[in-house]
Amino acid sequence: MGLHEDVGEILFTAEQIQEIVQRIGKKISEDYADKDLIMISVLKGSLMFMADLMRAVTIPCSIDFLSVSSYGAGTTTTGEVKILKDLDISLEGKDVLVVEDILDSGMTLSFLLKSLKARNPRSIRLCTLLDKPERRRVNIQADYVGVQVPDKFIVGYGLDYAEKYRNLPYIGVLKPEIYSD
């Protein structure tokens, strides 16, 4: 089977994703017009979203990248979060916007936000393309949400299963037989 054949259902086309990204970018541009914005992408999943979002933001901003691990090669979070690649720049006095592909259990982002707050930014907010509230295990909400998604295994536009499917231009639901034992 090929990449596209493994997807059982397309939730959002490439065009729909771009409309969502433009909407979020416009709102961020308005909200941070007079701020010292730094957008932090959580690698690897948010890479595509971050690239498109930063182009949709019409005000000056800086970017940086973090890499964390909480999933391994499985389909559910282990709850243990490790920072694999830390930021290159200081957050002191900056207005930080953490950019994530999906807010799921919230465990990884809860840990990450706590860690970033300790670095004394002026403000810190969370932006997620996809929100899956049914899976939430901690009390965390995003300040900017693209769309809510059902509790299904979602891939594409940066989201992966075992490091594959990130390169799909759309967001879809992976067929269960692909990831079940």
Please report which residue ranges of 61-175 form alpha helices under DSSP H.
107-117
Give yes or no: 104 in active site: yes
Q: Which pLDDT does position 61 carry in this prediction?
A: 96
What tokens does 22 get? Answer: 């433009």
Terminal Cα-to-Cα distance of the chain (whole angstroms): 17
Catalytic-role residue among 104, 131, 160, 181:
104
Residue at token pair 């499985």: 74
Q: Is 15 left (phi over 0), alpha (psi -120 to 50) or beta?
A: alpha
Domains and their CATH numbers in the chain: 14-152 (3.40.50.2020)
Phi, psi of 2 (to 5 degrees): -100, 180
pLDDT confidence of residue 37: 97
Residue 82 pLDDT greater than 90, yes or no:
no
Write out pLDDT tens, residues 92-126: 999 999 999 999 989 889 989 999 999 999 999 99
